[in-house]
Amino acid sequence: MKHKTIRGYIRYTSKKPERLDQERGREFFTITTQIDDVVVMDAHCEIDDEPNVIRDVVVAMKKDATPLDCSVRLSVGDQFEGTGWFRFDEDEVECEMYNRKDGRITQKIKTKKTVPWLQAHPIVGDGLLMKCYDLSKGKGKQMLKDFMLTSPDHRGATGPMLFKMKQMSIEYMGEEEITVAAGTFQSRHFAVGDTAGSLLEEHPPYHVWVTADDDYLFLKASAAGYMQTHYELESIEYFNT
């Protein structure tokens, strides 16, 4: 048995009337499933909206999306913002970070249970996040509680450092066939919400489509409200499948 790698490109566009379908960013990613069932996500993210953001993220996680370790390097407005390393244990999470505003910071946070997810802000990661939904219970809404962020900012443009998130909901809407720039896929449709009181600013309604298989590969997503953004898989390559 060999490891399996998926490599792709996601395009960010605006849905605001004055910028309809204009490109506002992009993401290049790889997802490697190793023979020990560890999944490693590597994403290079670019947001063109001022102040522009360049973010490089590597996250290792278990097959169920439980985080193991992560590294993040971040530039905002064409300036170095910060770099950080994160490690997750059964009852503790730690971070070593250097930020241009705050200098060197060490965090160690005790947890009552294993942290179920780390939101490090790559869009491809939003597909893997849907692994946190228990499909055996069918359609409906489930709450994801006591997970972590590398930044409470919706663009992931601060830190990076540990931020505790109380809860959010993931709703499973069912399977449907969809066509994106990368092709036609059988997909699972999810909606994310109920972040009020957990973030500095409530995230607007967010719908995500992923492949209807064990890869949970991101296909497309749309955020409503003040964001009015759209994300779509433009190309995909598979290796060692």
Domains defined along the chain, listed by start? 4-235 (2.40.360)
Residue 201: pLDDT band with limits 50, 70, 90: low
Answer yes or no: are the C-beta atoms of 128 and 216 closer than 8 Å.
Answer: yes
Answer yes or no: are the C-beta atoms of 161 and 99 closer than 8 Å.
Answer: yes
String of DSSP letters for 7-21: EEEEEEEE-SGGGTT
Residue 241: pLDDT band with limits 50, 70, 90: low
pLDDT of residue 199: 53
Q: Percent of the chain, pLDDT > 70? A: 95
Both tokens of 170, joined, read 């993931």
The model carries a pTM of 0.94
Mean pLDDT of the chain: 94
Closest CA to 153 of 129, 119, 125: 119
For the chain, the distance separating the N- and C-terminal CA atoms, rounded to the nearest angstrom, is: 10
Q: Which residues contact 143 (CB under 8 A, 6 or more apart)?
A: 167, 168, 169, 194
pLDDT of residue 203: 66
